[in-house]
Each structure stands twice: as structure tokens, then as C-alpha cells.
Structure 1
């Protein structure tokens, strides 16, 4: 056990994916319902691996989003921008823990401070030259290890940036397909 991860299970997972690359294909989903204004509630759906529902995953999780009142919301939940940061932080945490464990690095602590910047002129349609999406995401990492040097932790940080699926999703263009399903289409 290293960094809270079963290193034998990590090795077995890596071996299984090497032997059967189709096991690397995973998909996650949610179903979201808008409840008015800037508020929505979502529930997770079954995750899939190699086209089949992941066995043993019976739990579903619910989460909500809203905006601060200054941004037209009712401040009942975290904003979608904060969820982006949470997704990146969660992915960084598991990537740090697993890559470090695979390299024999024990983490005694890992703290991530994240910020995301938006320019609302794009969202509001005020300035077409401003993209509606995030302008920048900044991550400050504090990692401590009883058995790794600063140089090894820096190398680990570089590997995390290369291997984090959520960072890659945010940093490189990803195809997003949106389809309107109407009652007529049924």
C-alpha cells in the first residue's frame, strides 16, 4: 500500500490493460435536470469499461450547480467553473498518488490550490472576440515526501501534467457533440 493505493492492484490493472488494451476504454455519464435560473441537479449514470457497465458500481451520486447571486444565480451550490476545478483537482490527486506509487514515491501530503479565470464579455455576447470559456487555469501544488527529493517531486509534477486525463481534456481541444432531442424525434 503506497499513498492509500493498493500497489498490487495498480500493477495488476496496468498488466491487464497492457494485455487487453480494450480495457482502457472507459466512459462516465450524468443526467442533468435544470430547475430554473442558473440552478441544475445532476445524477451519475453507470460507468462503462470496454462497452460494459462496470461490475460492482451500484452507487449513484448527485450534485448541483448554481452561480453566485452577482452572476445571476441563487448561490445554492458550487458554480460550474468550481466543478471544473474540482474535476481537475480530483484527477490530479489520483494521478499524483498512482504515478508516485508506481515510482515508489511516498507522499506525506498533497495540497492543490486552483483558480480559473473567465471574461464574461464572451458569455454575455458583448465582445465577440472574447471566448466564453476559461481564459486560464492556475494550479499551485504543495507535495511532500519522506523519500523523494525536490527534483523527483518536480519530475512527478511534470508526469502528472502529461498523464492527467482531465488536464488533457482542458488543455487540448476535445470534440463535444450536442444533439437536441425533441418530442417530434421520438
Structure 2
């Protein structure tokens, strides 16, 4: 079994700005103004869609040759729906996405039937998509650093 561990550190800066870091790469996260942020960058749920689209693109690139598919161009549009009242504790609804849709725009000479089969394979082998579709053991632990006065 080839289990690999991935790690990210998220550090709250000012307001809703969060700096995330993995392997020396940084991404700044924010919220739009209507949710209290300064709208300097994508928010976490947009990053989730971005991660899904990036993962789908990478799986497509990884397996296209194996499926005999020549890609001339690929774009994936993603959209998700969530009720922000769950996040804002205004009602008893889930805070996460209820629906996510991907639309693949592929420029190629391949048949639509072959591409449909390929996209089914892609979606079955995308780690981010699988993580969204299936329950994950999500645990946390608290470490308190008390300030000495």
C-alpha cells in the first residue's frame, strides 16, 4: 500500500485573511465583502472547487495517452451551491455544498462516446472528487498556548 501523507498549515492573519502553506508554497485565502472579508482572494469553498477542477484536470492529463485521447485544449467549469445560513448559524441547514457540477470543455477529435467513458474513469480516480463523495475520518485536536503575564 502506497499511503502518502500530505500536510498544510493554515495561519490566521488579519480579519479573515488566512495564509496556507504546503511544501513552501503559499496560498492566501479570504472571504468576499458580503461575508465580512476584504475580497483579496478566493474563499475556502471556492478553493475546494478549484482543488476539484485541478484534480480532474491532472487525472485527465495523467490518463489521456493511456486512453488514446489527444487533448488540444481542456477547461473545466465548476459550480457549487451552498446555503450560507448554515455557516452564519442563521438556520439549521448544512454549512457545506449540497450540489457541485463540473462541465468539461474538451477540444479533441475523439468521439463523444469515448470521451464519456474517459470522464467516468476520471471521476472514479480523482482523489479530491472521491474525498467529496465519500465520508472521511475528520478529527482534530486542540493545543493551547497560554500567554504568560
TM-score (norm: length of structure 2): 0.91
Structure 2 spans left out of the alignment, 5+ residues: none
1:80 corresponds to which of 44, 51, 59: 44
CA-based RMSD of the aligned residues comes to 1.3
Number of corresponding residues: 146
Match of 1:48 in 2: none
Residues 139-162 of structure 1: per-residue CA shift (max 9 Å, x gap): 11111223x211000101111111
Match of 1:177 in 2: 139
C-alpha separation between the residues in 2 aligned to 1:160 and 1:93? 9
Dislocated runs of 4+, deviation >6 Å:
none
Match of 1:160 in 2: 122
C-alpha separation between the residues in 2 aligned to 1:91 and 1:44? 16
Structure 1 spans left out of the alignment, 5+ residues: 1-21, 46-59
Match of 2:3 in 1: 25
CA shift for structure 1 position 64:
0.6
1:115 corresponds to which of 72, 76, 79: 79
More helix by share: 1
2:91 aligned with 1:91, yes or no?
no
